[in-house]
Each structure stands twice: as C-alpha cells, then as structure tokens.
Amino acid sequence: MQSELQASHQWFSKFIEAIRAIGFTQSKADYSLFTRKNDKSFTALLIYVDDIMITGNNLPAINALKQFLNTRFKIKDLGDLKYFLGIEVSRSRRGEIFLLTITRPDMYSVHILSRFMHEPCKPHLDAAMRVLRYPKSTPGQGLFFPTGNEMNLTEYCDSDWAGCTRRSTSGYCVFLGNSLISWRTKRQKTVSLSLAEAEYRAMTGACCEITWLSYLLQDLQLPDPGPATLHCDNQAALHISANSVFHDRTRHIEMYCHFIRDKIMDGTMITRYISSQQEVAEVFTKALGKEDFSAMVCKLGVHNIHSPT
C-alpha cells in the first residue's frame, strides 16, 4: 500500500510539472483543476488519478493539449465526454447537458438508511427494498443544465432538530442561476440545544460551501457572480447571523459557526427569509410526502430523460 501511494504521488507530481511547463495554473480551490488563459482562449483540465477531462472555448488549443499529453504520457482519447467518475453525460444539439448521477439529490432516504449499516435488522431491509423501488422506476432521472443561464449564486439551507440520536441533520443546495451545482446532507457533530441553533449551524455550513464555490468560479474565469443569496426558513437563525452581540443563548456556540457573520458584514453574503413551503433544502433533511417531494425535486432541476415530453 505504501509503494502504491508513493507511485501515485510521484505520477501526480510529474503531471503537475509537465502541465505547468506549458502555462497551466493549478487551482488552490481544487488541486485537481488546472486552467490556462491566453487572450480570449481558455482551457480547463480536471484530473482524477488517471482520468482526465478537458474543456475550453478553443478547439485547436484543446487538440494541442491532447497531443502534448499523448507525447508525454501516452493517453487514450475517448472523444466527447460521456462518462466521468460515475456520472453519465448526454448533450443535446443545442448544447444542453443532462447528467445521470450516482449521488442523486433526491435520495435523502439512503442517507438515513446508511446509519444502520453496522447492525441492520429486518425493518431496515424492508425499508431499503422500498427505497430501491424509486430509483428502479426512474433510471433516467438526472440533472438538466440549460445553455443560457445567469451567473448568480443562490443557496437554500435547512435543518431538522434532534433526530433519533439527538443530533440534527443539516442540508443545503447551491444553484448557479437555475442550475443545481452542489448539495449536501450531513448529520451535525454536536447536539444543538434549539431549532434556531441547528438552523444556524446549517447556515454556517452552507456559507462555507458558497465561499469555496466563489473561489472555484474565479479559477474558471467566470464573471463575478456578486453577493450570494442564502435562504433560510428560520427567523431566529437569521437574527443570530446578523447580530454581532453575544448573549446567553449564543455564547456556547463554537466560534467557527460565526464565520457567516463576517461574510454578511463584508458584503459577500446576503441572507433572506423564505417560507417552509418554498424551502427547497427540506428534501435533504426530512422525509416528505409524495406531492411535496415531487414538487421539491422539480424545483431542484431534476428531470426524467425517459419521460414523454
């Protein structure tokens, strides 16, 4: 195992040295991303172990990069992107992109079932079989990305409170324009003493994700999206994020949670209240009824490519 780790490290170091020599810059937001900009030409390269994805706005520059990589490393060109790291990609003639993803945003139940993998019982198996009916009936379910889109970041965050282990679950989703680009469901590490505190922790996690995505968009040479808008359905959590005065109800919260206050003060983040009926992130933290679930999934931009139009 040690020799394998050393070999992979040496391979990546050699790749970095070669790609930097032809003018590429390694992203500090994602070390596997490399970009190069010459006048109006822009090329981006994403690498994971020995799988490489190349994109850009200049086809001759992309072909020259492929030729260079083939000379140095003997690569195999698989043509237009169709499959990458478990993600199936299809593209329309108009340039629209449709992903069939492995980690689907509409599978909150899988997150709950994974908590019982250590000592599963018959009820857990029954629940798993019931959950499997859904992806089996929707094999063409995936994310749709239109060609025309705005460059603004919008995020929704939500939290339940005191689940079966007394630890709350945080969930958030991030949109670039109308396209869902990031989402997460995670159980909080500490016990929250109130619903407001649980929601506040969820807001902090969402704020960290937006900060990282902002750096990534800069590396991809995209226009400045301006202040990101964070939506939350808890008024008390919004007041905590805007109030810089400590008092008995908030002084026990870890200091890193107040990271969101700095982002609000420097103008990179705007918070907005949203009703629970419009809270898209609820699909990541709660088991919803069929009608509510279908409505939320549709708002996420999840479509069934096999369904009739």
Domain ranges in the chain are 2-79, 98-304
- Which class for 75: exposed (0-12), middle (13-18), buried (19 or more C-beta within 10 A)? middle
Q: How far apart (Å, rounded) are the C-alpha atoms in residues 201 and 161?
A: 11
Tokens 């958030």 — which residue?
A: 172
Give the orientation angle of helix 195-219 with respect to helix 235-242, to 10 degrees: 60
170 in Cβ contact with 193 (< 8 Å)? no
Q: How far apart (Å, rounded) are the C-alpha atoms in residues 242 and 12?
A: 44
Radius of gyration of the chain (CA): 22
251 in Cβ contact with 265 (< 8 Å)? no
SS3 state at 246: coil
Q: What is the pLDDT of residue 260?
A: 83
Residue 227, CA distances (Å) to 124, 154, 266, 279 in order: 43, 9, 10, 20
Q: What is the pLDDT of residue 34?
A: 93
216 φψ region: left (φ > 0), alpha (ψ -120 to 50), beta (else): alpha
Each of the 309 residues of the chain gets a pLDDT tens digit; together they read 555 567 777 888 888 888 898 889 999 998 899 999 988 889 999 988 778 888 888 899 999 989 998 888 888 888 888 877 777 788 777 767 777 866 677 777 777 787 788 888 888 888 888 888 887 877 777 887 777 777 888 999 988 876 666 788 888 899 988 888 888 888 888 887 778 888 888 888 888 899 899 889 888 888 888 888 999 988 888 888 877 665 656 666 767 677 888 888 888 888 899 888 888 888 888 878 888 888 888 888 887 776 655
Q: Are strands 269-273 and 228-232 parallel, antiparallel or unpaired?
A: parallel
Q: How far apart (Å, rounded) are the C-alpha atoms in residues 81 and 151?
A: 23
Q: What is the pLDDT of residue 155?
A: 92
Closest to 209 (Cα-Cα) out of 144, 263, 142: 263
Which top CATH class is 98-304? alpha beta
Tokens 């030729």 — which residue?
A: 67
Q: Phi then psi for 191, rounded to 5 degrees?
A: -80, 125
Q: What is the pLDDT of residue 119?
A: 81
- Which class for 42: exposed (0-12), middle (13-18), buried (19 or more C-beta within 10 A)? middle
Q: How far apart (Å, rounded) are the C-alpha atoms in residues 228 and 264?
A: 10
Tokens of 81: 């992107």
Q: Please name every residue paired with 88 in a beta bridge, in sequence order, or none if there are none.
A: 83, 100
Angle at 59 between CA 54 and CA 63, to 5 degrees: 65
Largest CA distance in the chain: 65
Q: What is the pLDDT of residue 284?
A: 81
Cα atoms found within 13 Å of the Cα of residue 259, Cβ hemisphere only: 14
- Amino acid occupying residue 9: H
